[in-house]
Structure 1
Amino acid sequence: MAAGTQKRMTVLQATFIGVGSMVGAGIFALLGAAGAVAGSAVWLSFLIAGAIAGLQGYSFAKLGARYPSGGGLLTYLSKGFGEGHIAGIGAWLFFTAGSIVVAMIASSFGGYASSVVAGGDAGWAKALGVLLIVVMGCLNAVGSTAVARVQSLLVTLVLAILVVFAAVTIVNLDPALLAPSDYPGVREIIASVALTFFAFLGFGVITFTAKDLPNPSRQLPRAIYFALAIATTVYVAVALGVFGTLTADQVVEYGATAIAEAAKPTLGQAGYVLMVITALLSTTGAVNAGLYPSIGMTRHLASIGQFPPVFGRSVGRFPVGLLVMAAFASILVVGFDLTSIASIGSAVALLVFSTVSVGHFRLYRETGASVIVLAIGLIATLGTLIVFCTTTLVNEPATAIALVVIIALAVLVDLLWKRTRTNREAADPREQAGS
C-alpha cells in the first residue's frame, strides 16, 4: 500500500479532533472557575481568548502548511531553533501540558459520572476519570482512523445539543444578569482570559493530524481555522446562556455542573439530564482527542533524537508515548484538584505557544506569514501569560511551585537525555539519533 493511501483523515475529521478537545475542556470544566474571576463577563473572556488563539492559529497554520509533520507544533520549534535544548525543553513541556489537559478533562468527566452513579463521591470521580483515560488510550492504540470516526460522532452530537441549549437559554435569558455595570475590572477579566485560554489548547492538537491528511499544506490551515471559529462561537453562546440564566455566584457554586443547572429553568429536569449526558460525551471526546498526539509526537521526537528511542517503540499494540501520557494523566487525576490542573496547563501551554511564535520570526520568509500579525500574536500571548502569573499564580502558591517544578524537570530531563545521547554516540559513532 502506498504511503499516501494510508492517510484517511479528512479536513472535517481533523477539525472535530480540535473541536472535541477544546469544547470538552472549555464548557464543562471552566465555567465555574472562570466565573469566580470574571463574574458574568466570562463570555467576554472567552471571546478575547478566542481572538488570541486565532492569532496563534494563524501562526500555526502558516507553519503547518510549510512544515507538515507528525511532530506537529514541536516540528515548528525544531525548525525555528534547531534540534537543541530550546526545542527539547519545549517538547517535554508540551508533552506535560498534553497530559495535564487530558487529566483535567478526565477529572471533569469523573465529576459528572460520579454524580450519576455514586452521588458525587470524590473517590468514584477519580476512579471513573482514570477509567476513561484507560478506555480512550485503548481506542488510540487501535489507530488514527478509529479515533477520527469516534471523534466525528461524539462532536456532532455534542455540537447539536449545545446549539439547542444556547438558543433556548439566550432567548429566555435575563439581561440584568449580564449587565456590564456588574462586570469586574479589566484586570480581573484579563486574568480570566489566561484561564479560559485553556479552553482553546485543543487547536494545537490539530497540528499533529498532518501525518494523516492527504494534502496537509492546504487542509491543515482549514482545519485550524474551522475549529477555532466553531469553538469560539460555542463558548460565547453557551456562556451568555448560562450567565444569563444563573447568577455568577450560582455558577461558581455549581462548578462543573453549572451548565446542566442552567438548563433546568427552560428545559426542566430533562434538560439537566440531557446536559449531563452531553458533558459525558464531550469530555469523552476531549480525552480521546487529547491522547491522539502522544503517538505521532513521541515517535517523531524519538526519530530525531529529542526523546529517548524507547518512545518510538510499542508494548504490544500500545505505543510507549501513549502509555506514558496516559499514566501521567492518571496520576494527575488522582493527586490534583480540577482548578490546579487547569492553571498549570494554561501556563505551560502559553509558554510553549509563545516560544513557537518567537521561532516563527526566524522562518516567516519561508512561511509567508505577516510579521505584524505574528508580533501582535506574540504580544497578546506573552501578555496573557504575564497577567496570569501576576494574578492567578500569586493566589495559588502551590500551583506556582508546581509550575516551577515542571519547568525545572523539563530542563533537567532534556539535559540528562542529551548528555546520555552524546555519550552513546561518542562510544559508538555508528549510533545516530533515531537509528
Structure 2
Amino acid sequence: VINAINEMEHPDKNIPRAIYSAVFIAVLIYVVIALGAILAIPFDEIIQSKEYALASGTENVLGHWGSDLIILGALLATSSAISGTLFGASRQIAIIASDGYFPRILATRVNKIPVIAIISMAILAFLLVLAGSLEVILEFGSITFLLVSLLMTYANYRIRDLTHSSTFVTILSFCGLLSGMTLILYYEFHNQPQQLVFIFSLYFLLTAGSWAYSKAKRAA
C-alpha cells in the first residue's frame, strides 16, 4: 500500500485506512479458514495431508466441488501475491533507480506506472526460476520481504517524530519481524543450507552490482 503513495489521493489519510483494513481482513480470513478446517477436518487427516489438508477436507465435505473451490481460491491467492509483489517491488526499484543506484531507465513511468521496472522484474523472476527452483524463489521472497520490512520498521523508528508513529507499535513490529527473520534463517540453516547460500549469494551480487553502478556513475 505504501508504495502507491505517489499514485493516490490524500495518502496521509488513505494509507493508514488501507493498512489497518487490509490487516483486519487478512487476519479475519485466516482465522475463519483455520477454525473451519479444525472443526470440519479430523486432526489425523490434517497431519497426513499436510499442505493440501484444506483441499482434502473440503473434498470430503463438499465433494469434487469443494476441491475445485480450493484450487480456484489458491489460483486467485497466487495471482494476488504475484500482482502485489510486482506492484510494490517495481515501484521500489523505480525509486532506487531515480536515486542513482540502478539504471535511470528503470525509473521511467507511463501514466505513473513504472513499466520498465515491472518488465525487468518479470524477466529477473524468470531467470531466477531457471537458475534455481520455485522453492528457492519462494524462500528468497519470504526472507527478502522480512528483511525489507525490518529495515523499513527501523527507519520508521528513527524518524518516528516526523511520521508520528507509535513507539510501542514500532518496537513491537520490529521485534516480531526480527523473530520471524531469525526463525526462517534458523530453519534454512538446519534443513536447507544450500538454499541459504544461494539466497545470500544473490544478495551479495545485487548489492555489489548496485554499489559498483552508483560508484561508476558518480565517477563519470
| TM-score of the aligned structures, taking structure 1 as reference length | 0.45
Equivalent residue in structure 1 for 2:47, among 218, 241, 249: 249
Q: Does 1:260 align with 2:58?
A: no
CA distance in structure 2 between the aligned counterparts of 1:365 and 1:377, rounded to whole angstroms: 17
Name which of structure 1's ranges 359-368 and 331-340 shifts more when overlaid on structure 2.
331-340
Q: Structure 1: which 5+ residue stretches go unaligned?
A: 1-205, 425-435
Is residue 58–residue 67 contact of structure 2 (8 Å, CA) maintained in 1? yes
Gaps of 5+ in 2: none
In the alignment, does 2:212 pair up with 1:416?
yes
Residues 259 and 338 of structure 1: is their aligned pair in 2 closer, same or farther, counting only changes over 3 Å? farther
Q: Map residues 159-308 of structure 1 onto 2, 5 A cutoff.
A: 206-244=1-39, 245-246=41-42, 247-252=45-50, 255=51, 257-308=52-103
Please list the CA deviations of residues 141-194 of structure 1 after superposition, one character each: whole Å capped at 9, or x if unmatched.
Answer: xxxxxxxxxxxxxxxxxxxxxxxxxxxxxxxxxxxxxxxxxxxxxxxxxxxxxx
Q: Which has the higher contact order (CA 8 A, sep 6+)?
A: 1
Q: Distance in 1 between matches of 2:26 and 2:84?
A: 15
Rate the CA distance shift 1:230–1:369 in 2: closer, same or farther, 3 A: same
**2:47 alignment partner AA:** D
Describe the shift of the 1:318–1:353 C-alpha distance in structure 2 as closer, same or farther (beyond 3 A): closer
Provide the rounded CA distance (Å) in 2 between the counterparts of 1:420 and 1:233: 49
Instruction: Extract structure 1 runs of 4+ deviating beyond 6 A.
Output: none
Asked if 1:378 is matched to 2:174, the reply is yes
Letter in 1 for 2:208: L
Relative to structure 1, the CA distance from residue 231 to residue 251 in structure 2 (aligned partners, 3 Å threshold; closer, same or farther) is farther
Q: Judging changes above 3 Å, is the alpha-carbon distance between structure 1 residues 357 and 230 closer, same or farther for their aligned structure 2 residues?
A: same
Give the superposition deviation at 1:220. Answer: 0.6
For residues 174 and 93 of structure 2, the distance between their equivalents in structure 1, rounded to whole angstroms, comes to 26
Give the Å deviation of 1:222. Answer: 0.6
Equivalent pair of 2:188/2:195 in contact (CA under 8 Å): no
Residue aligned with 1:292, SS = helix
2: distance between equivalents of 1:290 and 1:268? 34
- Give the alignment partner of residue 363 of structure 1, picking from 159, 180, 183: 159
**Alignment pair present for 1:345 and 2:122:** no
Which AA in structure 2 matches 1:215? H
SS in 2 for 1:361: helix
Kept after mapping to 1: 8 A contact 2:153/2:174: yes
State the Cα distance separating 1:338 from its structure 2 match: 4.1
Q: Is the 8 A contact 1:302 1:309 kept in 2?
A: yes
Q: Distance in 2 between matches of 1:294 and 1:340?
A: 18
Question: What percentage of aligned pairs have identical amino acids?
Answer: 25
Equivalent in the alignment of 1:122: none
Would the aligned equivalents of 1:394 and 1:400 in 2 still touch at CA under 8 Å? no
Deviations 1:22-49 (A, max 9, x none): xxxxxxxxxxxxxxxxxxxxxxxxxxxx
Structure 1 Cα separation of the partners of residues 170 and 140 of structure 2: 25
What is the rounded CA distance, in whole Å, between the counterparts of 1:285 and 1:376 in structure 2? 27
Task: Give per-residue Cα distances to partners, 1:219-271, cap 9 Å, x unaligned.
Answer: 0111011111111121222233335415333332xx3x443222112111111
Aligned pairs, how many? 215
Task: Specify whether residues 370 and 286 from structure 1 end up closer, same or farther in structure 2 by C-alpha distance, changes over 3 A only.
Answer: closer
Q: Residue by residue, what CA displacement relative to the aligned partner does 1:279-301 show, whole Å, maximum 9, x if unpaired?
A: 22332233223222344333332
Residue number in structure 1 paired with 2:104: 309
TM-score, structure 2 as length reference:
0.85
In structure 1, what is the Cα distance between the partners aligned to 2:147 and 2:16?
22
